[in-house]
Structure 1
Amino acid sequence: MNQVWFVTGSAGGIGAGIAQAALAAGNLVVATDLDPERLQLTYAAHAAQVVTARLDIRDAAQSEAAVEAALARFGRIDVLVNNAGFGQFGPFEEIEPEAVERQFATNVFGTFNVTRAVLPVMRRQRAGHVINMSSNGGFKGVSGASMYSATKFAIEGFSESLAQEIAGFGIKLTIVEPGAFRTDFLDGRSLKLGTRELHDYADLRAKANAVFEARNHNQVGDPDKLGRALVQIAGEIDPPLRFVAGADALKVIDDTLRAVADEVERWRSLSLSTGF
């Protein structure tokens, strides 16, 4: 049976790579994004297989309406990909509180909204697969991206716990931790910077901005290949809780695991001393 995929933020970038890979495998897709015109252009050749819907994931009512549209057309949802989001970068002290709230409203609470709308469908089906897009920055904090990393750490904790809560209903969950993929993520459309420039952070800010400029559209990851990998994972009987995507992300996570293990061991005796 063909699967029905519900993919947020799928007008371009990783989301489009995932949705196109699902279509190429013969599946049906509900493609959502803030930009309906871009959605129409992206999926014009797949009208019979695709429902497109404008979706601001910060709006719970819109999430519910998009799910209802999916059910009206296809009758079920088998795979949810929570991909929509953006990067709020810059040192923490340079980011105004309103920008922090927008970052969490989209990356965290928006993911909650869509998941909350889809889970009742999957529970009724007693089947489904939730794929939550995190980042290697959700496994290791990144200097100059504290707020983005904070949202991705939140998604990781949420996902680990949720996976246990929904397993009894036949619903699987996978956290995806990509490295740098060649998308528009580092363009102004997806990347936001703090506006409160403080002299003490000038060097850090300059170095971070130089990295963004050098990497923009030169990232090593291929969104289409990531999409094909996730289609494979969605077909597995026993999919991973975590999928690390890209050689750069693997290095970050391997190095972090070793560093954490070393630090735990260094302080083991003091840790054990805190009991009665």
Structure 2
Amino acid sequence: MSTFDPAADAAVEASITVADEIEVAGDKTPTSDPDLDLDLEFDFDLLEPTGPGDRQQEQPQQSQDDQGQSPDVRAGDHRNASASLPRANVHGRGSGNAYANEDSTNGRKSSQTRRVSHVSSAQGSGNDSDHRGEHERKGSEGGSSRFAITTASFPPHNSPRAWLLTQAISPLAIRLIRLLLAHGDYVVACLPPHEIENEDRATEFKTLVNECKSNRKDREGWKDRIRGIRCDGRSMGQCSAAIAEAVHVFGRIDILLCCKFESVVGTVEELSTTPATQNLVRDQFETIYFSQVNFIKAALPQLRGQHTGQIIILTSIGGHIGTPGMPTHTAATWALEGFCDSLAYEIAPFNIKVTIVQPNKEIQSLTNKIILAPQLPWYDSELNPAPSVRDILSNVLNTNPDTVVEPSETEILHRYPKLPAATLDKLVQETVHALTAIGGHENPPARHIVGFEGALAVKEKLKTVTEELEDFVEASLAVDIFESELKAEARQGKAPDTNPERGESSTDFTPM
């Protein structure tokens, strides 16, 4: 169960509104609402949001497609809420699919080959590898990348969708939000307090906020379609408050994207040495499993009442393949996926769909916090090559002076990787494309593996499982004694004993 104090659930965390006067500034204290506690490193000037649920007083200038749409979607009446959302410029499936075009041009030279080369070679050269865009955007670390909102592949739909992201501050989430806003969708961005208060971690989100408040033509209307909510998923009360706020502002939730993640690196033995390392195991489950389950439980009544919706779980291929050196990460991922496998059957009658999206492990690890447990000498890569993930992640962290890690047998290290913006763009683009293509799809897959290497690795794992099953199938069938007796009796022409627990003989059969 959650290790948080239940009393914390009674407090509703303040919401951060991305509205007309959103401002990223210094140490100013917001005064819009004395009841809101916004003790942040940067300040959002709070105004009432302008969304489908709040459009009675002043309506922004609408395009021709927006006219004729009902602006008033009440929080208590969601039967026709999707029809009431202002219409967006909706692209059918496959239209403007720049990511797919790039992949088809390059053939099967895909994810890991490109990603590893980007991570190793693009450090310190964040502005020399991607010139597709029309403007500069500051990256999370030295340099900028030329980046434009690439038109993604969205499934056909007649009205904008309302997305809720359980963690909206990661590089992947920020790039997804840009595409959703450019497409005309609505976004509720949940911001974990411990991350939004981290100046380095919040840098890219500040940039997104500035884009939303800008007067640029290609960002027109963005500030009206995004709502930021300060929310810690480990608190069930805060999750419920976030869902209620999303429904109040935008009238409904169409897609719940569970994307909170962090990686604890350490072998089973390394995570058992001290109370502090043992707590890392609990914290990993709190982050990956319990926090996302809390959001799902909070959203289910709303989705069931709408009789429509989709829950997307962003995990990794760690849900199929264990990773030496990251056992708690694998265990928490499997727990969440197992939970959702069962959930999918339970909520299918309510027309709620569940999809698990599995990118390669480095996608999540290199865009979220990495926690390194103290290393034991007998798990050094020179002696035991199995848990090599520590060396791989450490090598990436060591490319930036701010995130260098030194081997330690006593200290727990916490790091957010700092990669150039151009590297991050390419690292996450396949996963972002998968999310836009699947989100809101009429018939989405139960599981979707992102990238050629990930699909190949999972196929190899399934092949191994199948081969082992065939090798030991006789041993499996040999223990099926009752079934064997039935087959023998059937060959002898005897009727089966329909109730063996009562001790009745199979020959005591009287025809009707």
Query: Same fold by TM-score, threshold 0.5 exceeded?
Result: yes
The answer as to 2:391 corresponding to 1:202 is: no
1:121 paired residue among 294, 302, 306: 302
Q: 1:30 to 1:79 in 2, by over 3 A?
A: same
The answer as to 2:435 corresponding to 1:230 is: yes
* Higher mean displacement: 173-182 or 53-62: 173-182
CA distance in 1 between partners of 2:469 and 2:182 (Å): 46
Output the amino acid matched with 1:158: F
Cα distance per residue 1:199-251 (max 9 Å; x no partner): 32223488332211445656896424422321221232111000101222112
The answer as to 2:232 corresponding to 1:27 is: no
The answer as to 2:50 corresponding to 1:50 is: no
CA distance in 1 between partners of 2:356 and 2:469 (Å): 25
CA distance in 2 between partners of 1:182 and 1:91 (Å): 21
Q: Give the secondary structure class of the aligned counterpart of 2:312.
A: strand
Percent identical among aligned pairs is 29
Cα deviation for residue 63 of structure 1 reads 0.7
Q: 1:154 to 1:132 in 2, by over 3 A?
A: same
CA distance in 1 between partners of 2:424 and 2:479 (Å): 46
Q: Which residue of 2 aligns with 1:254?
A: 459
Q: Which has the larger radius of gyration?
A: 2
Q: 1:244 to 1:198 in 2, by over 3 A?
A: same
Structure possessing the higher relative contact order (Cα contacts under 8 Å, 6 or more residues apart): 1
CA contact (8 A) 1:21 1:228 kept: no
CA distance in 1 between partners of 2:312 and 2:359 (Å): 12
* Higher mean displacement: 124-133 or 53-62: 53-62
Structure with bigger strand share is 1
Unaligned runs of 5+ in 2: 1-158, 213-221, 272-276, 398-418, 482-512
Q: Which residue of 2 aligns with 1:140?
A: 321
Matches within 5 A, 1:1-276: 1-34=159-192, 35-36=195-196, 38=202, 39-44=205-210, 45=212, 46-95=222-271, 96-180=277-361, 185-186=365-366, 190-195=369-374, 197-203=375-381, 204=384, 207-214=388-395, 217=419, 222-276=427-481
Output the amino acid matched with 1:235: G
Output the amino acid matched with 1:193: L
CA contact (8 A) 2:161 2:440 kept: no
Unaligned runs of 5+ in 1: none
CA distance in 2 between partners of 1:182 and 1:229 (Å): 13
Q: Give the secondary structure class of the aligned counterpart of 2:228.
A: strand
Structure with bigger helix share is 1
CA contact (8 A) 2:172 2:428 kept: yes
- RMSD of aligned alpha carbons: 2.2
CA distance in 1 between partners of 2:463 and 2:424 (Å): 25
CA contact (8 A) 2:254 2:440 kept: no
Q: Which residue of 1 aligns with 2:412?
A: none
Q: Give the secondary structure class of the aligned counterpart of 1:176.
A: strand
Output the amino acid matched with 1:175: I
CA distance in 2 between partners of 1:91 and 1:144 (Å): 5
Output the amino acid matched with 2:260: A
